[in-house]
Chain A
Amino acid sequence: MQLSPTSSAALRTGVLLAASSLPGPLGPLAFVAPAPLIRALLRGVAPGRALRAGLLAGLLHGALAFAWIPFADVGQGPPPLLAYLALLPVVAAGSGAFALAVALLAARSRWAALAAAPGLWTALEYARSQGQLGVPWIQLGYGLADWPALSQAAGWVGLYGLSFWIAAVGAWIAGAEWLGPRLRTSLAVALAAPLLPGVALLADAPPRDAVRVVAVQPGLGERERRDPQRFAANLSLLHAGSQRALTQPAQLVVWPESAWQRPLGGGGDAFLAALAHDLATPLLTGVWEAPAPGRLGWRNAAVLALPDGRTPVVAEKQHPVPIYERSAGGPAARWLARRGLWSGRFERGRASAPFALSRLEGGPVSIGVLVCIDASHPEVARRLRLAGARLLVAIANEAASGPWSAALHARVTRLRAVESGVPIVRVASRGPSLWIDARGRVVASLAPGAADSAGHALALASRAGPFVRIGDACVAGAAALSAAAAWLSSLPIPRREGVQE
């Protein structure tokens, strides 16, 4: 069977997109990933064929990038294979819509299609991440998260700005054969501009103010973690890890998401406070808030146990994982729940403000908390930064979903640090636990899968960068820019200098 050039291009794009989404060093392949599909579309493809090509690229991208889902140990609920199969059309739909739009534009003007492609890609990626069933991963921009020298522009334009840049490079590669030499060079120079913020990595100022944070990574499998009979054994592991790492004093001890295995009622938990008192250090841990009067659902949260006996809730998960974690909210979800295909029981948490951590020296520090997948939503970190957070703590538990998803989540967290210009301590049940500086560099880490603990100091964030102030306005900007460029380029001007139609 021989593939058509368009299908072949779609396959290449799908594979390259998937490769750039995998944990590992291949992230920058994102720069070339969209090019084969865009080039094929620019050559002129019927809308139906373009749609199918886009769907094919998206299916391949989603199928490979989310191949860890069928192997997740989710306990109750529908088989993860079903969730995986349900996810693929969401990813494919975005690519399909992109290919269709580019093909329709290319039918009028190749130049218009080329100009519109980056904005279209960015807008569709953004749209895909929204809503109850949104998919906030595998955006093009995350391909650069493990490459701080390439990702610093995120501090100006955020994740979607990076995606726009990467898609623009892809479009430039795709359209290179139709661009005249001068325009090709000019565009290349313009497209290199987002590399400039990376120069800042060469001239780091010495840290003036730092906080030492202990991370305890128990290394437990999900079934061990959830077993009520192992409550004491698991707690012993966490306590011992805390004590070991506190041989050098720290300002905060952090345990992962859901590490405290008993429900937290309205009155707090005296034992947690006793633990913090024993450690003589504030202790932040993931906890499940029990239903309370006026609200029926559970909440996945973080509690700060203080040596003075208080145990305030300092964060709640705002984006529980659909199906398996989030409680059935709408009619469709309730319909699925009645058929055993929706097992979640956690409601969405409230947005929380940073908490003030007292220190013996240097005054209080404002710290924000991201609970697990909230780290995949740029707005959550950004709002905490706007509210004054100078350090973020991201607690996570990927014991059920496996090391692949944990590596992806770690990558996502690194980009959050760059976007908001804030150091992040990521503490995960099975790792990798990371101390990430405000430039997205990993200062220290605990190996994935290991039961380990350590304390490291991170320089606190200083002034917030442009992304914190403007947020995802650049998504609208990117879309508008592309639309304007497409409109301008589709005007009936007989000949444009530098463009070889």
Chain B
Amino acid sequence: MNIVRHPLSVLAALAAAAVPSAAFDGGSAPPEAPPSARSAAPTYYEEVLASQRDAGRAPAAGGLPARLHVVGAAGAVVYRPRKGGRWEVTVEVAERPHERVDAVYDLVLALALPADHRSDQWRLRVREGSRRASAPAVYAGERVSLKRNRALEASWLPLLVGAREGLPDLAGTAYVWTLWDAIVRYDAGAGPTLEGFARFGYRADARTPAPNPGAAYLISWMPSLGAAVAPYTLRLDAVAPGTEGEER
């Protein structure tokens, strides 16, 4: 799939395509072969679950992980200035292997937004296809839609921001982290790969620059594994408008 012409994404990378970084993801380097060709490789969560099963562990107590298992991924986050102090940010996740672990995930998007941003949009609707011909992403029978979760921001960001294996500290950048999430159930019939994109429109001071360098993080948190397991996280680097295709 040509992701220059078809800026796809996933969000619905649901559990998103958790493949160990050595097997697939690595910085922003393009994959060497189509994702479907490598779908037999064990995914991150498959390996984690196998090790837990070997150890005979029962479900762990609830808790928020203090670190993330971050891998660079094909895709991008693009901040586009519009007229009148309006901005649009697009998060794109390129086609990637589907997770193969039957679980319930909290799909969390960590998105940097200006601290003073204003918006009436309360959710990010994930779509599939090209910008010109897209359709809502449907997974496990539901349209995938991420909602701003301020409660999770209050509880989780203090653990993650600035941590060695967490999110970058945005202090001094005029940006803050926001968390958007959706609970998704594994859909075995969703096919070998997933992709998707979502847009968010907001108003902010026209002088506010896009975060540079910056990135968005798509966290596939499988809470049943407990706080000790770092959630699999895709890093989607911020690129200048109009260059997202050239990046790859």
CB within 8 Å of B: which residues of A?
228-229, 231-233, 235-236, 239-240, 243, 261-265, 267-275, 277-280, 290, 307-310
* A76 → B minimal CB distance (Å): 15
User: Which residues of B lie under 8 Å from residue A261 when comparing CB positions?
Assistant: 59
Given contacts A261-B59, A270-B223, A274-B183, contact A309 B106 (CB under 8 A): no
* A159 → B minimal CB distance (Å): 38
Given contacts A264-B62, A271-B106, contact A309 B185 (CB under 8 A): no
Partner of A236, one of B149, B154, B185: B185
B103 within 8 A of A: yes
User: Which residues of B lie under 8 Å from residue A272 when comparing CB positions?
Assistant: 62
B183 to chain A: closest residue by CB: A278
Given contacts A229-B53, A232-B102, A309-B151, contact A277 B181 (CB under 8 A): yes
A266 to chain B: closest residue by CB: B61
A233 to chain B: closest residue by CB: B102
User: Which residues of A lie under 8 Å from residue B61 when comparing CB positions?
Assistant: 262-265, 290
* A247 → B minimal CB distance (Å): 11
B residues 56-70 in Cβ contact with A at 8 Å: 57-64
Residue among A232, A262, A264, A290 with the most chain B CB within 10 A? A232
B residues 134-191 in Cβ contact with A at 8 Å: 140-142, 147, 149-152, 154-156, 181-183, 185-186
B104 within 8 A of A: yes
Partner of A231, one of B149, B181, B185, B224: B224
Q: Are A271 and B151 interface neighbours, CB within 8 A?
A: no
16 residue pairs bridging A and B, Cβ less than 8 Å apart: A228-B59, A235-B104, A235-B224, A262-B61, A270-B152, A270-B156, A271-B223, A271-B224, A274-B152, A274-B181, A274-B183, A274-B223, A278-B181, A290-B61, A307-B151, A308-B151
Q: Are A240 and B151 interface neighbours, CB within 8 A?
A: no
User: Which residues of B lie under 8 Å from residue A265 when comparing CB positions?
Assistant: 61-63
Q: Are A278 and B224 interface neighbours, CB within 8 A?
A: no
**Interface SS majority for chain A:** helix
* A51 → B minimal CB distance (Å): 51
How many angstroms between the C-alpha atoms of A275 and B155 in the bound complex? 15
Partner of B154, one of A229, A278, A280, A309: A309
A307 to chain B: closest residue by CB: B151
Report B224-248 CB contacts with A as 1/0, cut-off 8 Å: 1000000000000000000000000
Q: Are A232 and B156 interface neighbours, CB within 8 A?
A: no
How many angstroms between the C-alpha atoms of A270 and B61 in the bound complex? 10
How many angstroms between the C-alpha atoms of A262 and B53 in the bound complex? 16
User: Which residues of A lie under 8 Å from residue B156 when comparing CB positions?
Assistant: 270
User: Which residues of B lie under 8 Å from residue A228 when comparing CB positions?
Assistant: 57-59
User: Which residues of A lie under 8 Å from residue B59 when comparing CB positions?
Assistant: 228, 231, 261-263
* B231 → A minimal CB distance (Å): 11
Q: Are B63 and A267 interface neighbours, CB within 8 A?
A: yes
* A282 → B minimal CB distance (Å): 13
User: Which residues of A lie under 8 Å from residue B63 when comparing CB positions?
Assistant: 265, 267, 270
How many angstroms between the C-alpha atoms of A275 and B154 in the bound complex? 16
* A3 → B minimal CB distance (Å): 55
Please give the number of chain B residues whose Cβ is less than 8 angstroms from any Cβ of chain A in the complex: 34
B101 to chain A: closest residue by CB: A232
Partner of A277, one of B53, B62, B152: B152
User: Which residues of B lie under 8 Å from residue A308 when comparing CB positions?
Assistant: 150-151
* B79 → A minimal CB distance (Å): 26
User: Which residues of A lie under 8 Å from residue B142 when comparing CB positions?
Assistant: 243
Given contacts A270-B64, A277-B152, 13 further A-B contacts (CB under 8 A): A231-B59, A232-B102, A239-B183, A243-B142, A261-B59, A270-B63, A270-B156, A271-B106, A271-B221, A274-B181, A274-B223, A278-B106, A308-B150
User: Which residues of A lie under 8 Å from residue B141 when comparing CB positions?
Assistant: 240
Given contacts A263-B61, A264-B62, contact A274 B106 (CB under 8 A): yes
Q: Are B186 and A274 interface neighbours, CB within 8 A?
A: no
B residues 73-128 in Cβ contact with A at 8 Å: 101-104, 106
How many angstroms between the C-alpha atoms of A161 and B221 in the bound complex? 54
User: Which residues of A lie under 8 Å from residue B150 when comparing CB positions?
Assistant: 308-309
User: Which residues of B lie under 8 Å from residue A310 when comparing CB positions?
Assistant: 151
Q: Are A262 and B224 interface neighbours, CB within 8 A?
A: yes
* A276 → B minimal CB distance (Å): 9
Q: Are A274 and B103 interface neighbours, CB within 8 A?
A: no
User: Which residues of A lie under 8 Å from residue B149 when comparing CB positions?
Assistant: 274, 277, 309
Q: Are B147 and A236 interface neighbours, CB within 8 A?
A: no
User: Which residues of A lie under 8 Å from residue B57 when comparing CB positions?
Assistant: 228
How many angstroms between the C-alpha atoms of A488 and B156 in the bound complex? 74
B65 to chain A: closest residue by CB: A270
* B179 → A minimal CB distance (Å): 10
User: Which residues of A lie under 8 Å from residue B103 when comparing CB positions?
Assistant: 232, 236
How many angstroms between the C-alpha atoms of A269 and B104 in the bound complex? 15
* A93 → B minimal CB distance (Å): 41
User: Which residues of B lie under 8 Å from residue A262 when comparing CB positions?
Assistant: 58-62, 224
B141 to chain A: closest residue by CB: A240
A240 to chain B: closest residue by CB: B185
Q: Are A309 and B62 interface neighbours, CB within 8 A?
A: no
B145 to chain A: closest residue by CB: A278
Partner of A232, one of B152, B181, B224: B224
A311 to chain B: closest residue by CB: B62
How many angstroms between the C-alpha atoms of A290 and B151 in the bound complex? 23
* B62 → A minimal CB distance (Å): 3
Residue among B64, B150, B151 with the most chain A CB within 10 A? B151
User: Which residues of A lie under 8 Å from residue B102 when comparing CB positions?
Assistant: 232-233, 236
How many angstroms between the C-alpha atoms of A262 and B150 in the bound complex? 24
A269 to chain B: closest residue by CB: B62
User: Which residues of B lie under 8 Å from residue A269 when comparing CB positions?
Assistant: 62
B185 to chain A: closest residue by CB: A236
Q: Are A268 and B62 interface neighbours, CB within 8 A?
A: yes
How many angstroms between the C-alpha atoms of A265 and B101 in the bound complex? 26
User: Which residues of B lie under 8 Å from residue A279 when comparing CB positions?
Assistant: 183
How many angstroms between the C-alpha atoms of A308 and B151 in the bound complex? 5
* B21 → A minimal CB distance (Å): 24
* B149 → A minimal CB distance (Å): 5
* B234 → A minimal CB distance (Å): 19
Residue among B59, B102, B152 with the most chain A CB within 10 A? B59
B221 to chain A: closest residue by CB: A271
B187 to chain A: closest residue by CB: A236
User: Which residues of A lie under 8 Å from residue B104 when comparing CB positions?
Assistant: 232, 235-236, 239
Partner of A239, one of B53, B64, B151, B185: B185
Q: Are B186 and A309 interface neighbours, CB within 8 A?
A: no
